[in-house]
Amino acid sequence: MTRSGADAASKVVLDTSAYSQLRAGHSEILDLVAGAESVVLPVTVIGELYGAFELGRRTRENHWALASFLAEPFVAVLPTTVEVARRYGQIYARLRISGTPVSVNDMWIAAATIACGGHLLTFDGDFARIVGLDCRVLVA
């Protein structure tokens, strides 16, 4: 189910776009993260971020900022587990049957979010097509 109300989620999951907007100081994402009990980054998001850092001009600064963020006591990394893989398989099959493709990494991020019972914050509207995903699609 996709939520769009103003209620705060206790466990928020950030995708790559949400982390980037958080770093840019986007006021709504800052408020949502501040109101959460915990913040989770799926390992897939961290991989996407590292890839972007390598292609960018501020590699060292971005690595340091991510490491500092991950060291916060309210932040956790969500690994890819067998349960996440099972959820991924369900998402993949549903989207394939419905003919509504979503990127592979987005399916992994959605699967991790569902498996941990989190509320995904994103700026990517593709996530709204994933059945069973609790997410909020924000506007930059």
Tell me: the pLDDT tens digits for 105-134? 999 999 999 999 999 999 999 999 999 999
Q: How many domains does the chain have?
A: 1
Question: Domain residues for 118?
Answer: 11-137
Please report whether residue 106 resides in a domain: yes
Least Cα distance to 115 among 124, 103, 105, 107 occurs for 107
Of 131, 125, 129, 132, the closest CA to residue 15 belongs to 125
**Is residue 1, in this structure, part of any structural domain at all?**
no
Q: How confident is the model at residue 8 (pLDDT cuts 50, 70, 90)?
A: low
Q: What is the CATH number of the domain that holds 16?
A: 3.40.50.1010
Instruction: Kindly state the percentage of the chain with pLDDT values over 90.
Output: 92
For residue 94, tell me if it sits in a domain.
yes
Q: What is the mean pLDDT of residues 56-66?
A: 96
Let me know if residue 30 belongs to a domain: yes
Tell me whether residue 4 is in a domain. no
Token pair, residue 49, equals: 């971020």
- What distances in angstroms separate CA 83 from CA 53, 88, 90, 117, one per listed residue? 29, 9, 11, 12
Give me 54's structure tokens. Answer: 């390598």
What value does the mean pLDDT take over residues 85-105? Answer: 96
Mean pLDDT to the nearest integer, 54-83: 97
pTM above 0.75, yes or no: yes
Q: What is the arithmetic mean of pLDDT over 63-91?
A: 97
Residue 5, domain member (yes or no): no
CB burial string 80-114: b at 16+ within 10 A, e below: beeebeebbeebbeebeeeeeebeeebbbbbbbbb
Output the pLDDT for position 9: 79
pLDDT exceeds 80 at position 38: yes
